[in-house]
Amino acid sequence: MADNKIRLQKFLSEAGVASRRKAEEMIKNGAVKVNGHIAQIGDSVDPKKDAVTVKGKKVNRQSSMRYILLNKPKDVVTTVEDTHARKTVLDLVKNACSERVYPVGRLDRNTTGVLLITNDGDLTTKLTHPKFNKKKIYQVTLDKDLQDDDFAKILSGIVLEDGEVKAD
Protein backbone atom coordinates (compact mmCIF):
# COMPACT_ATOMS: atom_id res chain seq x y z
CA MET A 1 0.00 0.00 0.00
CA ALA A 2 1.36 3.42 -0.99
CA ASP A 3 2.39 5.90 1.69
CA ASN A 4 0.38 9.10 1.13
CA LYS A 5 2.13 11.08 3.84
CA ILE A 6 3.68 14.48 3.24
CA ARG A 7 5.70 16.76 5.50
CA LEU A 8 3.48 18.75 7.83
CA GLN A 9 4.89 22.13 6.76
CA LYS A 10 4.20 21.27 3.10
CA PHE A 11 0.63 20.33 4.00
CA LEU A 12 0.15 23.64 5.84
CA SER A 13 1.62 25.56 2.91
CA GLU A 14 -0.61 23.78 0.39
CA ALA A 15 -3.60 24.43 2.63
CA GLY A 16 -2.88 28.14 2.40
CA VAL A 17 -2.12 28.55 6.11
CA ALA A 18 1.41 29.93 5.71
CA SER A 19 4.65 29.54 3.80
CA ARG A 20 6.70 26.47 4.69
CA ARG A 21 9.08 28.60 6.78
CA LYS A 22 6.24 30.25 8.69
CA ALA A 23 4.59 26.83 9.12
CA GLU A 24 7.81 25.56 10.75
CA GLU A 25 7.68 28.49 13.19
CA MET A 26 4.05 27.68 14.00
CA ILE A 27 4.98 24.03 14.63
CA LYS A 28 7.92 25.05 16.86
CA ASN A 29 5.61 27.39 18.82
CA GLY A 30 3.16 24.54 19.52
CA ALA A 31 0.31 26.07 17.51
CA VAL A 32 -0.14 22.96 15.33
CA LYS A 33 -1.73 19.67 16.36
CA VAL A 34 -2.08 16.41 14.44
CA ASN A 35 -4.85 14.10 15.62
CA GLY A 36 -5.01 16.04 18.90
CA HIS A 37 -1.28 15.83 19.66
CA ILE A 38 1.12 18.78 19.51
CA ALA A 39 3.09 18.48 16.28
CA GLN A 40 6.86 18.38 16.02
CA ILE A 41 9.22 19.49 13.26
CA GLY A 42 9.70 16.51 10.95
CA ASP A 43 6.16 15.16 11.37
CA SER A 44 4.36 13.89 8.29
CA VAL A 45 0.62 13.64 7.74
CA ASP A 46 -1.76 11.78 5.49
CA PRO A 47 -3.97 14.58 4.13
CA LYS A 48 -6.92 12.20 3.73
CA LYS A 49 -6.73 10.59 7.17
CA ASP A 50 -5.04 12.90 9.69
CA ALA A 51 -6.82 15.77 11.46
CA VAL A 52 -4.63 18.89 11.50
CA THR A 53 -5.47 21.99 13.52
CA VAL A 54 -3.75 25.36 13.90
CA LYS A 55 -4.63 27.26 17.06
CA GLY A 56 -7.65 24.97 17.43
CA LYS A 57 -8.96 25.56 13.90
CA LYS A 58 -9.25 22.60 11.50
CA VAL A 59 -7.09 22.83 8.39
CA ASN A 60 -8.12 21.34 5.06
CA ARG A 61 -5.80 20.87 2.12
CA GLN A 62 -6.60 23.12 -0.82
CA SER A 63 -8.49 21.21 -3.44
CA SER A 64 -7.75 23.52 -6.34
CA MET A 65 -4.62 25.19 -7.58
CA ARG A 66 -4.75 28.82 -8.64
CA TYR A 67 -2.61 30.40 -11.36
CA ILE A 68 -2.57 34.14 -11.98
CA LEU A 69 -0.51 35.83 -14.68
CA LEU A 70 0.17 39.43 -13.76
CA ASN A 71 1.75 42.11 -15.90
CA LYS A 72 3.70 43.67 -13.03
CA PRO A 73 3.79 47.44 -13.23
CA LYS A 74 6.76 49.60 -12.27
CA ASP A 75 7.16 50.59 -8.60
CA VAL A 76 5.44 47.45 -7.28
CA VAL A 77 7.58 44.97 -5.32
CA THR A 78 7.58 41.22 -5.87
CA THR A 79 7.22 40.01 -2.32
CA VAL A 80 4.55 38.66 -0.02
CA GLU A 81 5.13 41.28 2.68
CA ASP A 82 7.11 44.50 2.43
CA THR A 83 8.76 46.02 5.48
CA HIS A 84 8.77 49.46 3.82
CA ALA A 85 4.97 49.52 3.23
CA ARG A 86 5.35 49.65 -0.56
CA LYS A 87 2.68 48.22 -2.84
CA THR A 88 3.24 44.48 -3.52
CA VAL A 89 2.11 42.23 -6.35
CA LEU A 90 -0.20 40.50 -3.87
CA ASP A 91 -1.90 43.84 -3.18
CA LEU A 92 -2.77 43.94 -6.89
CA VAL A 93 -4.39 40.47 -6.89
CA LYS A 94 -5.81 40.36 -3.34
CA ASN A 95 -9.39 39.75 -4.51
CA ALA A 96 -8.57 37.37 -7.38
CA CYS A 97 -9.09 34.21 -5.29
CA SER A 98 -9.64 33.08 -1.72
CA GLU A 99 -6.56 30.83 -1.62
CA ARG A 100 -3.20 32.00 -0.28
CA VAL A 101 -1.06 32.66 -3.35
CA TYR A 102 2.51 33.89 -3.77
CA PRO A 103 4.77 35.10 -6.60
CA VAL A 104 7.00 32.66 -8.49
CA GLY A 105 10.40 34.26 -8.86
CA ARG A 106 10.74 38.00 -8.80
CA LEU A 107 11.05 41.16 -10.82
CA ASP A 108 12.81 44.22 -9.44
CA ARG A 109 10.69 47.14 -8.23
CA ASN A 110 11.38 49.27 -11.28
CA THR A 111 10.93 46.37 -13.75
CA THR A 112 7.72 45.57 -15.59
CA GLY A 113 6.79 42.19 -17.00
CA VAL A 114 4.81 38.99 -16.70
CA LEU A 115 4.87 37.30 -13.31
CA LEU A 116 3.24 34.02 -12.26
CA ILE A 117 1.38 34.03 -8.94
CA THR A 118 0.12 30.68 -7.65
CA ASN A 119 -0.53 28.38 -4.72
CA ASP A 120 1.09 25.43 -6.54
CA GLY A 121 4.19 24.71 -4.48
CA ASP A 122 5.38 21.82 -6.67
CA LEU A 123 5.28 23.97 -9.81
CA THR A 124 7.02 26.81 -7.99
CA THR A 125 9.84 24.49 -6.94
CA LYS A 126 10.23 23.08 -10.46
CA LEU A 127 10.43 26.58 -11.93
CA THR A 128 12.72 28.21 -9.37
CA HIS A 129 14.97 25.63 -7.68
CA PRO A 130 18.47 25.63 -9.23
CA LYS A 131 18.57 21.81 -9.44
CA PHE A 132 15.93 21.94 -12.20
CA ASN A 133 18.12 24.32 -14.26
CA LYS A 134 15.23 26.25 -15.86
CA LYS A 135 16.34 29.00 -18.20
CA LYS A 136 14.77 32.40 -17.85
CA ILE A 137 14.48 34.69 -20.84
CA TYR A 138 14.27 38.44 -20.40
CA GLN A 139 13.69 41.16 -22.97
CA VAL A 140 15.39 44.34 -21.83
CA THR A 141 15.06 47.89 -23.10
CA LEU A 142 17.76 50.32 -22.03
CA ASP A 143 17.66 54.09 -21.85
CA LYS A 144 21.11 54.27 -23.51
CA ASP A 145 23.25 52.10 -25.79
CA LEU A 146 24.86 49.01 -24.27
CA GLN A 147 28.64 49.41 -24.30
CA ASP A 148 30.91 46.47 -25.25
CA ASP A 149 32.63 46.43 -21.84
CA ASP A 150 29.24 46.36 -20.05
CA PHE A 151 28.12 43.48 -22.27
CA ALA A 152 31.32 41.58 -21.43
CA LYS A 153 30.62 42.07 -17.71
CA ILE A 154 27.10 40.70 -18.12
CA LEU A 155 28.41 37.62 -19.92
CA SER A 156 31.13 36.95 -17.34
CA GLY A 157 28.75 37.36 -14.39
CA ILE A 158 27.51 40.09 -12.10
CA VAL A 159 27.26 39.88 -8.32
CA LEU A 160 23.90 41.03 -6.97
CA GLU A 161 22.66 41.22 -3.36
CA ASP A 162 21.51 37.60 -3.45
CA GLY A 163 24.41 36.09 -5.41
CA GLU A 164 26.02 35.94 -8.80
CA VAL A 165 24.05 35.89 -12.05
CA LYS A 166 25.31 35.08 -15.54
CA ALA A 167 23.80 35.45 -18.95
CA ASP A 168 23.63 32.31 -21.08
The count of other CB atoms within 10 Å of the CB of residue 152 is 9
- What is the rounded distance in angstroms from the CA atom of residue 57 to the CA atom of residue 60? 10
Q: Is 75 a catalytic residue?
A: no
Q: Which of 108, 143, 145, 149 is catalytic?
A: 108
- Annotated active-site positions, please? 108
